[in-house]
Amino acid sequence: MFAYYLQLGLRSLRRNPMLTTLMVMAIGFGVAASMITYSVFRAVSDDPIPNKSSQLFVPQVDGWGPQQNDNGEIPGALNYVDAMALMRAHKASRQTLIYPVMLSALGRDADSVPTSASGYAVTGDFFPMFEVPFLYGSGWNADEDDHRAADVVLTQEFNQRMFGGANSVGKEIQFGGNTYRIVGITKHWNPAPRFYAVWGEDGFSEAPDFYVLLNRMLDLHIDSSGRNSCRGNLTFTGWDQWLQSNCIWLMPWVELDTSSEVAQYRQFLTSYATDQQHAGRFGWPANVRLLDVMAFLTQQNVVPPESRISLIVALCFFVICLVNTIGLLLAKFMRRAGEIGVRRALGATRREIYTQYLLEAASVGIAGGLLGLLLTAVGMSAVTLLFDAEIAQLAHMDLSLIALTLLLAILATVAAAFYPAWRAAQVQPAWQLKSN
């Protein structure tokens, strides 16, 4: 019966090519617009580290106070004094501190021209905390952090550029005129958004080139190449005074595995801030926050507003296409009232009519879905016109998107057919037969 109805449906679609084309196009365009914008939205709002995002936290301490912070919002990064205090207290199983640096890199060839390399100054816990995958070697441990070792971890991409992809662990490399020992090479790893450094960055840049020991960078007075934000009168006249200022530029992360650890850490943050108030450093009561990865990404507004607006507009567009489809299906079905009357008079139940017309709609949905798929594929290649290159390259068509496209098209069309099919099933056989 199912196959027969589908056949009937297809035949009826062919009988009325203009209406059918209209419906298929409406569904196709609607689905494609939604899917293209959704694929971008999905890429930018995804959990970048799904198996650990609920164990990684950003501790935030308000070092600016209610008069100078952003309308009560705690600043998204830490100043040097607070960052170092949290690190020294070491109240989490793992913890790291991050800031972006840009250095000149020189290969072995002494005559070569330096190339600019961007990376992050981090502590040893960075690698196990964020489960950074290694191709060769490994990160460094807390001992080396304390000994301010000249260790560096290169990324696969940068190792390719500088050493042609060979295992360069143990080799030396020049950064900013100083020699560093390569201890590890990471596999390609560039979470999108780059949650660990999203403050002051857009979160979707190309993979960094290296990770270098934070204490070493501080010793050498290597400036942050990222954002630095200060409040009040600026009185520092050099590096050391700047470190003591209220300028925020360091990104702290802690790993807390259980909810009791989270509660304890929160308590620790509050008592730390309260101590600072008592010591006279803060002129305000404790204002602290402990955010996990997704909460932090939300706070930092990582999803570009353009991505959200375009998804919403595309969905509205799809709804209009569906309203359009309801109208066209209604017209199509009711035009065949006579036919329905005959079938009903010959013994077809309302239910059978209803099923038949829903199936007819489903075949429209399938056709619309296929067109939608085609348009989505075309649209994907044009995504670079609509969004930044970094974001556009994240959007891709995969199996789940293809399935979602077809499913959405079919379900939406069938849902749109509920009312027209119901009207068709309500046709009174006697009426139709009489007027004929």
Where on the chain is the footprint of other proteins (CB under 8 A)? 18-19, 22, 25-26, 29, 33, 37, 67-68, 102, 104, 106, 113-116, 176-178, 220-223, 225, 227, 230, 232-239, 241-242, 304-306, 308-310, 313-314, 316-317, 319-321, 323-324, 326-328, 330-332, 334-335, 385-389, 419, 423, 435-436
Nearer to other proteins, 220 or 295 (CB): 220
Nearer to other proteins, 188 or 335 (CB): 335
Nearer to other proteins, 263 or 389 (CB): 389
* Interatomic CA distance for residues 149 and 172, integer angstroms: 13
Q: Tell me the DSSP string of 278-328.
A: HTTS-SS---EEEEEHHHHHHHTT-S-HHHHHHHHHHHHHHHHHHHHHHHH
Nearer to other proteins, 136 or 242 (CB): 242
Nearest alpha-carbon partner for 288 in 85, 121, 100: 85
* Interatomic CA distance for residues 137 and 182, integer angstroms: 9
Least CB distance to other proteins at residue 26 (A): 5
Our CA angle for 186, 189, 193, nearest 5°, is 150
Please state, in angstroms and as integers, the Cα–Cα distance from residue 268 to each residue in 54, 73, 246, 398, following that order: 19, 20, 21, 44
Q: Which residues contact 365 (CB under 8 A, 6 or more apart)?
A: 27, 409, 410, 411, 412, 413, 414
Least CB distance to other proteins at residue 143 (A): 27
Spatial contact of 98 and 254, defined as CB atoms under 8 Å apart = no
* Interatomic CA distance for residues 189 and 122, integer angstroms: 16
Least CB distance to other proteins at residue 83 (A): 16
- Token pair, residue 67, equals 């008069």
* Interatomic CA distance for residues 13 and 22, integer angstroms: 11
- Token pair, residue 412, equals 């939406």
Least CB distance to other proteins at residue 104 (A): 4
Least CB distance to other proteins at residue 7 (A): 24
Least CB distance to other proteins at residue 320 (A): 5
Least CB distance to other proteins at residue 205 (A): 9
Least CB distance to other proteins at residue 325 (A): 8
* Interatomic CA distance for residues 173 and 190, integer angstroms: 22
Nearer to other proteins, 242 or 265 (CB): 242
Nearer to other proteins, 22 or 81 (CB): 22
Identify the H or E element spanning 56: strand 56-61
* Interatomic CA distance for residues 274 and 269, integer angstroms: 9
Nearer to other proteins, 25 or 74 (CB): 25
DSSP 125: T
Nearer to other proteins, 47 or 202 (CB): 202
Nearest alpha-carbon partner for 315 in 123, 38, 73: 38
* Interatomic CA distance for residues 369 and 23, integer angstroms: 11
- Token pair, residue 406, equals 């077809």
- Token pair, residue 428, equals 């009174």
Least CB distance to other proteins at residue 290 (A): 25
Nearer to other proteins, 20 or 287 (CB): 20
* Interatomic CA distance for residues 349 and 424, integer angstroms: 12
Least CB distance to other proteins at residue 86 (A): 22
